Amino acid sequence: MRMDTGIACGGIGRAGWMRMSTFGRITALSLDGSWMLHHNRLMKHRYLNQHNALWLSIQMLVLWALASPPIAKPWYDSLLFKPWMTGGDPTITSIAGVPKQNLTITTKSGARLNAWYFRVAEAKKTLLVSQGNGGAMADRKLLIESFLPYHVSLLEYDYAGYGTSTGKTSLDQILQDGDSVYDYLVNDLKVDPKSIVVVGESIGSGVACHIASHRGCNSVILLSPFCSLMRLAKSKLPWLNLYPASWFPYVDIDNRTALKDFQNPVLILYGPQDLTIPPSEAIELSRLCHTCSLVEIPGRGHLLYYPPTSEYKSALITFLSGRQKCN
């Protein structure tokens, strides 16, 4: 019984071992195959990730280069300047009862600027108005109308490339345009520099401050101004901060620098709901200019003058009469 049992047990043990060994080898082979498959998949995944990362890096580098100021300058110019390529409205012969005179002013670059001159007899002040970046002089009738009731003469013009003005628009050019119009006022129209009030709307605030910084004038009026055009651009288009200063083919129009040593009165008007130029720009600029008067036009955004509010009218009356108080 013991032998039979032993033989039986031994037989069962050997058969069991053979089955277990076969299963072990199969299992080992199976596990080894699964590991190799997993390893291959992992290596392929890593390769694809590295390939995708490299391709993404190349795409980002190309995009960075294409968006750089030197290469994408025409596109940035299209964002900065939005001119109407139309002439003046022939139906406008006068505004606020003041007859309009059509003028053509030639700049140093040879551009011929279209201008409107409204001369009020015995006016003590003449406003030189530099407009914003959009439209043309023909759609600034309401802006002109908001000034003329205060017994002032006024000259407004189209930048080069705007309206019927010839030439090509650029930051350097609009500064040159402002200088040329000022010189025309003084040299051709014989307007006393001490009676000239330079007025700037939006980007025109840079032109007005530029004129005031190196030409004699009575005072300055700024509507929705900025501090630094370059800083404003970088806040609006954050990727511009990725490029070195030497890559920018633009002159920075910095109103803070222009008004730093200005001694005559400055009026700054702004709207608290301005989405184009943050109100903080006007506030900061007023704090850096010790001759500034800052006036908020409640309920207004970037467009301040239509329809003229009581705050707008009061600010102009007070300033143009010489009764303003600096902040």
- Is the pLDDT at 88 greater than 80? The verdict is no
Q: Is the same domain home to 145 and 31? A: no
pTM of the model: 0.81
Q: Is the same domain home to 175 and 206? A: yes
CB 224 within 8 A of CB 298: no
325 falls within a domain: no
Q: Picking from 118-122, 243-247, 294-298, 307-311, which range would have the lowest pLDDT averaged per residue?
A: 243-247
Per residue in 239-255, pLDDT (tens digit) is 999 999 888 888 899 99
237 falls within a domain: yes
Domain termination site, one of 31, 66, 101: 66
Domain termination site, one of 66, 87, 104: 66
Q: Is the same domain home to 116 and 213? A: yes
Q: Is 88 exposed, middle or buried (0-12, 13-18, 19+ CB in 10 A)?
A: middle
- Is the pLDDT at 37 greater than 50? The verdict is yes
Rounded to 5 degrees, φ, ψ at 297 are -105, 100
Residue 40: pLDDT band (50, 70, 90) is low
Closest CA to 152 of 98, 194, 100, 190: 98
Number of domain units in the chain: 2
Q: What is the mean pLDDT of residues 52-56?
A: 74
CATH number for the domain harbouring residue 162: 3.40.50.1820
CA distances to 113, 174, 211, 250 from 180, in Å: 9, 10, 10, 20
199 falls within a domain: yes
Q: Is the same domain home to 216 and 311? A: yes
Q: Is the same domain home to 17 and 143? A: no
Report CA 209 to chain centroid distance, whole Å. 17
**What whole-number distance in Å separates Cα of residue 7 and Cα of residue 4?**
5
Q: Is the same domain home to 12 and 107? A: no
Per residue in 135-192, pLDDT (tens digit) is 888 889 999 999 999 999 999 999 999 999 999 999 999 999 999 999 999 999 999 9
Q: Is the same domain home to 184 and 202? A: yes
326 falls within a domain: no
Residue 16: pLDDT band (50, 70, 90) is very low
Question: Tokens for 8?
Answer: 């039986």
249 falls within a domain: yes
- Is the pLDDT at 302 greater than 90? The verdict is yes
Residue 90: pLDDT band (50, 70, 90) is confident
Range of the domain at 21: 1-66
Q: What is the pLDDT of residue 2?
A: 42
Q: Is the same domain home to 207 and 313? A: yes
Q: What is the pLDDT of residue 271?
A: 97
Rounded to 5 degrees, φ, ψ at 69 are -55, -40
71 falls within a domain: no
- Is the pLDDT at 11 greater than 80? The verdict is no
Q: Is the same domain home to 179 and 229? A: yes
Q: Is the same domain home to 44 and 80? A: no
327 falls within a domain: no
Q: Is the same domain home to 47 and 187? A: no
- Mean pLDDT for the chain overall: 86
Q: Is the same domain home to 61 and 181? A: no
Q: What is the pLDDT of residue 325?
A: 62
Q: Looking at the DSSP assignment, which residues form a beta bridge with residue 10?
A: none
219 falls within a domain: yes
| Residue 261, number of CB atoms within 10 A of its CB | 9
Q: What is the pLDDT of residue 42?
A: 65
98-106 and 94-95 strand pairing: antiparallel
Q: What is the pLDDT of residue 87?
A: 59
Residues written for the chain? 327
Domain termination site, one of 48, 66, 84: 66
